[in-house]
């Protein structure tokens, strides 16, 4: 276990993607063990590897960590991506939570019942355009620096880049009114480790379509 972290999840974005992004940005190689059948998941549970019977689970430094935020917090701390002091961490946490909320809101649209999709899509667009993106545009304008906190790369820069790419997939026109966010996206995308993760053949996962998700739900009964 002194070797590479091992990631246990489906071969999909889900709640593991932000962890993949953070490890990649930190330049940390990782191994993935995909759950491909109900038996795979059942075995992880029976062997006591999932504290709350849930994935994602990451084996790292002798621990079997579950809960996305616990995993992210650990990786960010270990690889010095969590700010230089308590106050920077507080800002990083506040910004990261906002980003995770919006990521969840956009991500949930894929598994949304058809009769709710239109209303939920409209809400997600409104929140993106009128709440979240303005908040981060304002942060960048407020300090005029290249990174969101402390003028150096932290986890929240990686989370925000990930989110901006999802917004772009969702509706690219939503980014138009936010020049500083667009510049931020280009800047962070150009960092060597990030650039590598954005290349084809990396461990980044593509979006699933509704049909693939329906099939996965049938197999795993969730």
Closer residue to a second copy, CB minimum distance, 38 or 207: 38
Q: Please report, as residue ranges, which positions from 54 to 93 form the binding site for a second copy (by CB under 8 A).
A: 61, 63, 65-70, 73-74, 77-78, 86-87, 89-91, 93
Q: Which residues of 97-114 are buried (b: 16+ CB within 10 A; e: fewer)?
A: ebbbebbeebbeeeeeee
105 touches a second copy (CB under 8 A): no
Nearest to 136 by CA among 107, 191, 84, 177: 177
Alpha-carbon span 173 to 129, nearest angstrom = 10
143 touches a second copy (CB under 8 A): no
Minimum CB–partner distance for residue 66 and a second copy (Å):
6
* DSSP character string of 176-193: TT-HHHHHHHHHHHTSHH
The answer to whether the beta carbons of residues 183 and 136 sit under 8 Å apart is no
Q: Please report, as residue ranges, which positions from 120 to 139 form the binding site for a second copy (by CB under 8 A).
A: 131-132, 135
101 touches a second copy (CB under 8 A): yes
Instruction: Tell which one of 53, 104, 126, 169 touches a second copy (CB under 8 A).
Output: 53
The answer to whether the beta carbons of residues 49 and 56 sit under 8 Å apart is no
1 touches a second copy (CB under 8 A): no
49 touches a second copy (CB under 8 A): no
Alpha-carbon span 137 to 85, nearest angstrom = 24
Minimum CB–partner distance for residue 98 and a second copy (Å):
5
118 touches a second copy (CB under 8 A): no
2 touches a second copy (CB under 8 A): no
Cα angle, residue 110 at apex, residues 162 and 134 outer, rounded to 5°: 45
Contact residues toward a second copy (CB under 8 A) are 51-53, 61, 63, 65-70, 73-74, 77-78, 86-87, 89-91, 93-98, 101, 131-132, 135
């Amino acid at each position: 276990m002194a070797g590479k972290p091992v990631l246990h999840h489906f071969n999909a974005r889900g709640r593991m993607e932000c962890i993949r992004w953070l490890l990649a940005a930190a330049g940390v190689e990782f191994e993935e063990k995909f759950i491909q059948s109900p038996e795979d998941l059942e075995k992880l549970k029976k062997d006591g590897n999932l504290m709350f019977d849930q994935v994602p689970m990451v084996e790292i430094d002798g621990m079997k960590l579950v809960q996305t935020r616990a995993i992210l917090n650990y990786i960010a701390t270990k690889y010095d991506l969590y700010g230089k002091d308590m106050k920077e961490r507080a800002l990083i946490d506040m910004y990261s939570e906002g980003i995770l909320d919006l990521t969840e809101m956009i991500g949930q649209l894929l598994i949304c019942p058809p009769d709710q999709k239109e209303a939920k899509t409209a809400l997600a667009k409104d929140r993106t355009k009128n709440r979240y993106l303005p908040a981060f545009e304002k942060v960048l304008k407020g300090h005029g620096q290249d990174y969101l906190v402390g003028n150096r790369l932290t986890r929240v820069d990686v989370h925000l880049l990930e989110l901006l790419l999802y917004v772009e997939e969702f509706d690219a026109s939503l980014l138009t009114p936010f020049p500083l966010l667009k510049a931020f996206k280009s800047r962070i995308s150009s960092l060597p480790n990030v650039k590598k993760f954005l290349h084809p053949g990396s461990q980044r996962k593509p979006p699933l379509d509704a049909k693939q998700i329906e099939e996965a739900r049938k197999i795993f009964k969730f």
